[in-house]
């Protein structure tokens, strides 16, 4: 059996947002709203990427293919997505609302 990292000793919780707040504290509301839109658009791209990797992984699993590199890429995409979700949460919290994101936000 391969060595596995034990996650039972890790404490769950949110990322410390203090440093992000320091970076954003001098922005005007308009600047913060623009940044929030950009962050939400990027988050959507990360979701699409993770979904695409998941679908490719399912296809390879059902075909019985070796997929160690693809599984690694998928896990990395999930971690990046989770961290980015936290950034979205922090920025939206500071802004006080979810800004309107244009329908054509450069996706796909």
pLDDT at 108: 43
Q: How far apart are CA 31 and CA 73, in angstroms?
A: 33
Number of domains within the chain: 1
Place of tokens 């947002």: 17
Is residue 79 domain-resident?
A: yes
Provide the whole-model pTM: 0.79
Is residue 83 domain-resident?
A: yes
Is residue 58 domain-resident?
A: yes
For 81, the domain range is 26-93
Is residue 99 domain-resident?
A: no
Q: How far apart are CA 36 and CA 94, in angstroms?
A: 10
Which structure tokens are listed for 55? 């679908």
Residue-by-residue pLDDT tens, the chain, 108 positions: 456 655 555 556 667 788 999 999 999 999 999 999 999 999 999 999 999 999 999 988 888 777 889 999 999 999 999 999 999 999 999 999 999 998 865 554
Is residue 9 domain-resident?
A: no
């Amino acid at each position: 059996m391969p060595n596995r990292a034990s996650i039972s000793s890790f404490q769950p919780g949110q990322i410390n947002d203090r440093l992000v707040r320091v970076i954003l504290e001098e922005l005007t509301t308009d600047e913060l709203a623009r940044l929030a839109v950009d962050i939400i658009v990027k988050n959507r791209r990360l979701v699409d990427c993770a979904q695409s990797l998941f679908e490719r992984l399912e296809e390879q699993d059902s075909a019985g293919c070796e997929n160690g590199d693809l599984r690694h890429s998928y896990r990395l995409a999930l971690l990046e997505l989770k961290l980015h979700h936290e950034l979205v949460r922090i920025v939206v919290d500071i802004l006080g609302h979810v800004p309107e994101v244009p329908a054509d936000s450069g996706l796909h």
